[in-house]
Structure 1
Amino acid sequence: MLQGNYQAVLEARDIEEFRTAVLRFTGEIGFNTVSAVTVVERSGQDAEFIAVGNTPAGYEEASQRVADSRRDPVMQHLKRQSVPVIWTQRTYVETGMADLWEEQAAFGYHTGVAMALHLPEGRHFLLGVDRDLPLPTDPRELTRIVADLQLFAVHAQDTAMRVLVPPALQPERPALTPRELEALRWTMEGKTAWEVGAILGISQRTAVLHINNAMHKLGCTTKHQAVLKALRLGLIH
């Protein structure tokens, strides 16, 4: 069931499609609220935060207070590590931040799972799901939830950077020629180099050249990796 969510978030073309995929995934793993955040660090300037989710309106202001984020043990974990954090009231009590938990619990934030992916060029992707119910007591079920979140985050990160981050803050995308993009599109459909050549009216050797050039520009070692990266970058759909 979750496989469709991974594909949907990977292929999202805009913020609304991305938000829809994130919210659907959150509900299917049994959580009420979600926050997907891109962070872009800029030299000599404040970091740029862009978030989507379904944060309750009354909690929006509290969740964005810098003073609280510096005290929040979950946020501090995410800043330093990529290992997911499973948090409960105890997480806040043991760090002397019980008052923060009390404040967010009033809005339904009782327990949750969160993680961060720290990417090159000062870019970060944070994903957290929360709910007002206790977390599963069965370790296997909790492990499955964490694994699902990690896999979804891997699929969502490139899309988030593509659709959430303003163009001026995005790294330059590889410049593929129209022929290279066509060759990747047909490769995505499962066509061989010979078939791609026949469809495009070129030789098999030329089709292979276009695919290899695309792989090189995308920094990939196989054509399947190149197709996936092109999808993530929004170069093909």
Structure 2
Amino acid sequence: MKNWQDDLLMITDLKLSESQIVKRIQEAATMLEFEYCAYGLQVIFPEEKVVMFNNYPRQWQRRYDTENYLAIDPIVAQGRQSQTPIIWADSVSREAPIFWEEARAAGLKVGWSQSSINAAGAASMLSLSRSSQPITRQELDANEIKMRWLVNVAHLALSNRISTRLANPYEVKLTSREKEVLKWTGSGKTSFEISCLLAISENTVNFHIKNSILKLSAANKTAAVIQAFLTGQLI
């Protein structure tokens, strides 16, 4: 990396979607010579829930889910106790031996993890792993600062987005016509004027305004316009 700090900070770009952020985190992991990476976030509000992204082999992903391995994962358990980086050493592997045997069979033999917790109480963990080549002291001396940066960048980029999404699970989606009507309403046009502009009846305009107010749980059409702008549906 010519300037790795700047490269990693680009992951926090507000224009990126969650999937684009995850892709960039995975690319950064590859640059650090790890085949796999996993990000997990535990939120408390509106209910306790864990959201996970990873590029692990499909077979291991299914096994992890169906066996509820999150509940016994020693790395996750240790990360909840401390934000100190964890190397998947033999001492850690002695816990839950069947779990580790299956993980290694899936190609997850070498790894490094670190957790992060923000002021709102959202806790996350980033794990970097590969199928061979132990993590050496020389590698840590060269790359651990970048790995720590990646942990914090991932948490900064994803925790707020995911927490906000989970707090609003039923995200309002206005139709294109509703957006169009609200946009003209926000410009100060009356229902009659909008009906002439869009070549539809005034009753139809009022119908779209009423639906938008209901969808957005707004007090009136002006509030609906403001809410639509705040949620990025009107630009």
Residues in 1 aligned to 2:67 and 2:142: alpha-carbon distance in whole angstroms = 32
For 2:108, what is the secondary structure of its paired residue?
coil
Cα 1:135–1:160 change in 2 (3 A) is same
If you compute each CA radius of gyration, which structure gives the higher value, 1 or 2? 2
CA distance in 2, matches of 1:10, 1:53: 18
Residue 64 of structure 1 is matched in structure 2 by: 65
Give the Cα separation in 2 of the matches to 1:89 and 1:105: 12
In the alignment, structure 1 residue 112 sits paired with structure 2 residue 114? no
Amino acid of the structure 2 residue aligned with 1:19: V
TM-score by length of 1: 0.62
Alignment partner, residue 21 of structure 2: 18
Q: Is the 8 A contact 2:110 2:135 kept in 1?
A: no
Offset at 1:4?
Answer: 4.5
For 1:122, the equivalent position in structure 2 comes to 121
State the secondary structure of the residue aligned to 1:162: helix
The residue type equivalent to 1:150 in the other structure is: R
Report the Cα distance in structure 1 between the residues aligned to 2:24 and 2:149, rounded to whole angstroms: 14
Q: Flag structure 1 segments of 5+ consecutive residues without an equivalent.
A: 171-237
- 2:153 corresponds to which of 134, 152, 155: 155
Unaligned runs of 5+ in 2: 169-235
- The corresponding residue for 2:221 is none
Find the aligned partners of 2:72 and 2:146 in 1 and give their Cα distance: 28
For residues 65 and 86 of structure 2, what CA distance do their matches in structure 1 show? 20
User: What amino acid maps onto 1:5 in structure 2?
Assistant: D
Query: Alignment partner for residue 38 of structure 2, among 23, 31, 35?
Result: 35
Runs of 4+ residues deviating >4 angstroms: none
Match of 1:169 in 2: 167
Secondary structure of 1:64's aligned partner: helix
Provide the aligned C-alpha RMSD in A. Answer: 2.2
Match of 1:52, SS state, is strand
Q: Deviations over 1:69-120 (max 9, x none)?
A: 3333211111111111011345212x3x222111011111001000100122
The separation in 2 between residues aligned to 1:165 and 1:66, in whole angstroms, is: 26
C-alpha distance 32-40 of structure 1, shift in aligned 2 (>3 A): same
1:234: which partner in 2? none
> Quick one: distance in 1 between partners of 2:99 and 2:90?
10
Give SS of 1:58's match. Answer: helix
Q: Does 1:74 align with 2:78?
A: no
One-letter amino acid of the counterpart of residue 165, structure 1 = S
Deviations along 1:15-54, one digit per CA (max 9) or x if unpaired, are: 12201211110100010111112210247x4x22122221
Sequence identity of aligned pairs in percent?
Answer: 15
Output the CA distance in 1 between the equivalents of 2:119 and 2:167: 13
Shift of 1:169: 2.6
Q: 1:166-217: CA deviations, max 9, x gaps?
A: 43538xxxxxxxxxxxxxxxxxxxxxxxxxxxxxxxxxxxxxxxxxxxxxxx
